[in-house]
Amino acid sequence: MGKQYNAQETEDKIRKFWEKNKTYKFNSKSKKQTFSIDTPPPYLSGKMHIGHAFSYSQQDFIARFQRMKNNVFYPFGTDDNGLPTERYVEKENKIRSKSMSRADFINLCLKTLKKMTPDFIQDYKDLGISCDYNIYYSTIDKNSQRVSQQSFIDLYKKKEIYKKEFPTLWCPECQTTIAQAELEDKEEESLFTTLRFKADNKDLLIATTRPELLPACVAVFVNPKDKRYKNLINKKATVPLFNFEVPILEDESAEIDKGTGVLMICSYGDKYDVKSINRHKLEPKLILNPDGTLKQTEYKGLRVKQARKKILEDLKENNLIEEQKQITHAINTHDKCGTPIEFITTEQWFIKLLDKKSKLIKQGKKVNWYPKYMFKRYENWVNGLEWDWSISRERHFGVPIPVWECKECNEIILPNNEELPVDPLQTKKQCPKCNKEAKGEEKVLDTWATSSMTPQIASAISLSKDKNLKIKIPFSLRPQAHDIIRTWAFYTIAKSFMHEKEIPWEDIMISGYVTLSGEKMSKSKGTGIQPKKLLEDYGADALRFWAAGSKLGNDLDYQEKDLITGKKFLNKLSNASKFVFMNLEDYKNQKPKQLEKIDKLFLQKLDILVKSATYRFETYEYSKAKAETEKFFWNMFADNYMEIVKKRIYNQTGPKKISAQYTLYKSLLTILKLIAPIMPFITEEIYQTYFKKTEKQDSIHISEWPESENLENEKYDTTLDAFIDVLSKVRQAKTKKQKSMKSEIILTMPEKQYEKIKDLLQDIQDVTNAKEIKKGNFKVEFVEE
């Protein structure tokens, strides 16, 4: 090592060392307790994002800490299921998925994924994420498909799954059902038009933003308390332009002062319509095709927006518009493509959720949330659920729904466990009842239906590698970001509850976001910050150092200066280690019979740090562990202790020197271990360079976490604090006089102070370069040359 620490070079070397030694391989024979982590599988799309670097670093801090205490099960997966992958593969291969068979398209996806996966995973390895990459799954691989299909079959048998024709949230762009969790608000400009309906030969004014749904109008609502319309109740209204009659009904949900107080119910404009139509048992008029075009009338074939425009023109021509104004309002869109959603009646598969809301909240409560308040978000979401989980998707790429339906008697046929994973479009089945051929289900499962099984998937993978190895549910930990509490965390809890009657993990840690000048980073903002570039410029340790800068769950502003600080820390650590071992050449790794008092006091301080840092890591407060260790190292160890022992090390021989050497060795090793989870590369480098020959373990990351020596009963000795106080005063005096720290002095201190540190007089003399120490009023005199 030179004077300056070269992160890039070292990290490259260390990375290879870990790979060669299989440092992070899960040890199935270990007698230690297993700490199992339900690693988030990232979407395999493009390069690693700074947000990923942030949250994966945070979970890795915990994984590495636990690895030094327990046996860590830390798999790695990629989420290759679903629309983003489908889109990516279509683009990459310049094809349309619907123009080929499902099996062919899945194969193409798998081929494309295989090509890009290694590069993608490399980013995580470069960051030092310490997964066992051999315990790898893709959410579309055979094992995942099997687990996912088993889940479907199990829930079907438990009568938790049903099929129903129902107006569901529909994306006309992706042409598939979506779940409530996939909705995203979007502000949109819209025309708010007040139309002239007719009732009792008079105008009945109704406002709407969706005139294209006029042909689907099935009723008009007014509030029973609304005096204006009382006489119209149960009469008929005529729909403008289309000239058919609909009933005027009273409904308490109609708000008197909203719009004109009258509203039209169409099939279906929004979920309010869906509910209203059900409540009043009205016959829906379905006018939308799955591709978002209109069915009937002369507007047939027009897309929603085109139809709206045309109908408005025609309304205007016929003088049926009373008023029109521009408004902005929020509309629900599909989070994957931003297309406004519609309600379209199709036959879909559902998992029952609404019947177990309170039980799911109870399950959520059993999980330890870090930070605690994140549970509220879970609870709010579950309380707000309005639909069961629609799990079928009209897509090509995904886990096939493993059922056949008899064409004759509609009997549902399930596959046997040995057949899984199965594609019902590839395998033919006959109805056991009527012997007729059954039709394979064409739909695939919602991606969350599969990724909500990650504990079971990872567990199955490990079992396939080692027959004796069953990773139990609940896992120890789920790490994830807060934006997917309502999806990933929620669905996983729901699935484990329905399958195992268990919580999926004991703890859940939720990381915050990376912000830029206080604002949330978004893909649209582009953000020129690429982890890859940062790794090249500053190294993974520095990036991780930054990621350890905010407490769990908090957002953190990205600032380049924090990486510079990290880099400085690396340099300091590297240099301090160099100093220590320069002075340990004649040290035989022996514990001295008698420790010098100041060494003992210093080790006591170190012990307090160990205790605190351990507690911090155990409760996921890695940022505090890091801050405390960082401060101790720089201030206590480097600036104070090292200065204090310099002279003794240089000039003394025998027990006094050995005591200092022992203390330096032990404290440096301890500090390295405490900071190793945060900065794995440099700590490994120092360990390999200096400690390896005397320490047993091959890698610092599988070495024992430092034990605190249980000083509870021992009273804390404040002598060292008093000592440092004196030292600090002397330094102050030297600075004021603009003298060198090495300048020789005569030190006078009060009786009380003198008595307090009387066992450490030699040390204070050494570190302050005092020629003489006297009692009296505090005074620093300089010895002139």
Among residue numbers 379 through 398, which ones bind RNA (CB under 7 A)? 380-381, 384, 386
Measured between alpha carbons, how far is 284 from 229 in angstroms, rounded to an integer?
Answer: 24
Among 559, 589, 594, 718, binds RNA (CB under 7 A): 559
322 binds RNA (CB under 7 A): no
DSSP secondary structure string for all residues of 601-663: HHHHHHHHHHHHHHHHHHTT-HHHHHHHHHHIIIIIIIIIIHHHHHHHHHH--THHHHHHHHH
Residues of this chain, 567-596, that bind RNA according to CB under 7 A: 567-568, 570-572, 575-576, 578-579, 582
Minimum gap (Å) between residue 441 Cβ and RNA: 29
Q: How many CA atoms lie within 13 A of 14 on its CB side?
A: 30
Residues of this chain, 187-206, that bind RNA according to CB under 7 A: 192
Task: Please say which residue, 175 or 190, places its beta carbon nearer to RNA.
Answer: 190
Among 131, 169, 263, 460, binds RNA (CB under 7 A): 263
Task: Please say which residue, 79 or 562, places its beta carbon nearer to RNA.
Answer: 562
716 binds RNA (CB under 7 A): no
Among 329, 366, 533, 779, binds RNA (CB under 7 A): 329
Task: Please say which residue, 242 or 579, places its beta carbon nearer to RNA.
Answer: 579
Show the site string, 469-488: x = touches RNA by CB under 7 A, - = not.
-------------xx--x--
Stretch touching RNA by CB under 7 A, among 36-44, 599-607, 656-664, 729-737: 729-737
Minimum gap (Å) between residue 303 Cβ and RNA: 18
Residues of this chain, 482-521, that bind RNA according to CB under 7 A: 482-483, 486, 517-520
Give, for 88, the enclosing helix (H) or strand (E).
helix 83-93
Minimum gap (Å) between residue 1 Cβ and RNA: 9
Question: Which contacts (CB < 8 Å, 24+ apart) does range 584-592 have?
Answer: 584/661, 584/664, 584/665, 587/658, 587/661, 587/662, 587/665, 589/665, 589/694, 590/658, 590/662, 591/662, 592/655, 592/658, 592/659, 592/662
Task: Please say which residue, 3 or 94, places its beta carbon nearer to RNA.
Answer: 3
Contact yes or no for 510/520 (Cβ under 8 A): no
Task: Please say which residue, 210 or 701, places its beta carbon nearer to RNA.
Answer: 210
The length of the chain, given as a count of residues: 785
767 binds RNA (CB under 7 A): no
4 binds RNA (CB under 7 A): yes
Tell me which residue of 705, 708, 702, 706 sits closest to 72, measured CA to CA: 702
Tokens of 620: 């996921």
- How would you list the strands of the sheet with 505-511, edge to edge? 368-370, 505-511, 475-481
Residues of this chain, 61-100, that bind RNA according to CB under 7 A: none
Residues of this chain, 655-674, that bind RNA according to CB under 7 A: none
Name the DSSP letter for residue 216: G
Q: How many CB atoms lie within 10 A of CB 319?
A: 9
Task: Please say which residue, 122 or 554, places its beta carbon nearer to RNA.
Answer: 554
564 binds RNA (CB under 7 A): yes
Among 68, 89, 109, 556, binds RNA (CB under 7 A): 556
586 SS3 class: coil
271 binds RNA (CB under 7 A): yes
Minimum gap (Å) between residue 674 Cβ and RNA: 16
Among 562, 607, 685, 763, binds RNA (CB under 7 A): 562
Task: Please say which residue, 262 or 460, places its beta carbon nearer to RNA.
Answer: 262
- How would you list the strands of the sheet with 437-440, edge to edge? 412-413, 404-406, 437-440, 429-430
Minimum gap (Å) between residue 413 Cβ and RNA: 36
Task: Please say which residue, 328 or 713, places its beta carbon nearer to RNA.
Answer: 328
Show the site string, 216-245: x = touches RNA by CB under 7 A, - = not.
-----x------------------------
The partner residues of 246 in beta bridges, in order of sequence, read: 237
555 binds RNA (CB under 7 A): yes
Stretch touching RNA by CB under 7 A, among 28-36, 106-114, 349-357, 549-557: 549-557
Contact yes or no for 541/7 (Cβ under 8 A): yes
Measured between alpha carbons, how far is 70 from 755 in angstroms, rounded to an integer?
Answer: 46
Measured between alpha carbons, how far is 58 from 513 in angstroms, rounded to an integer?
Answer: 12
638 binds RNA (CB under 7 A): yes
Among 735, 771, 774, 783, binds RNA (CB under 7 A): 735
Measured between alpha carbons, how far is 48 from 163 in angstroms, rounded to an integer?
Answer: 39
Task: Please say which residue, 431 or 584, places its beta carbon nearer to RNA.
Answer: 584
561 binds RNA (CB under 7 A): yes
Measured between alpha carbons, how far is 544 from 683 in angstroms, rounded to an integer?
Answer: 13
Contact yes or no for 681/535 (Cβ under 8 A): no
Q: How many CA atoms lie within 13 A of 267 on its CB side?
A: 19
Among 95, 286, 304, 331, binds RNA (CB under 7 A): 331
Tokens of 201: 């030969």
Please enumerate in sequence order all residues whose Cβ is within 8 A of that of 387, keeping only pairs 6 or more positions apart, or say none: 168, 169, 179, 180, 353, 354
Report how many residues bind RNA under the rule CB under 7 A: 91
643 binds RNA (CB under 7 A): yes
Tokens of 567: 């880099």
Minimum gap (Å) between residue 249 Cβ and RNA: 12
Stretch touching RNA by CB under 7 A, among 96-104, 544-552, 587-595, 768-776: 544-552
Please enumerate in sequence order all residues whose Cβ is within 8 A of that of 31, keeping only pairs 6 or more positions apart, or say none: none
Among 158, 202, 230, 258, binds RNA (CB under 7 A): 258
Task: Please say which residue, 97 or 583, places its beta carbon nearer to RNA.
Answer: 583
Please enumerate in sequence order all residues whose Cβ is within 8 A of that of 208, keeping only pairs 6 or more positions apart, or say none: 192, 193, 195, 263, 264
728 binds RNA (CB under 7 A): yes
360 binds RNA (CB under 7 A): no
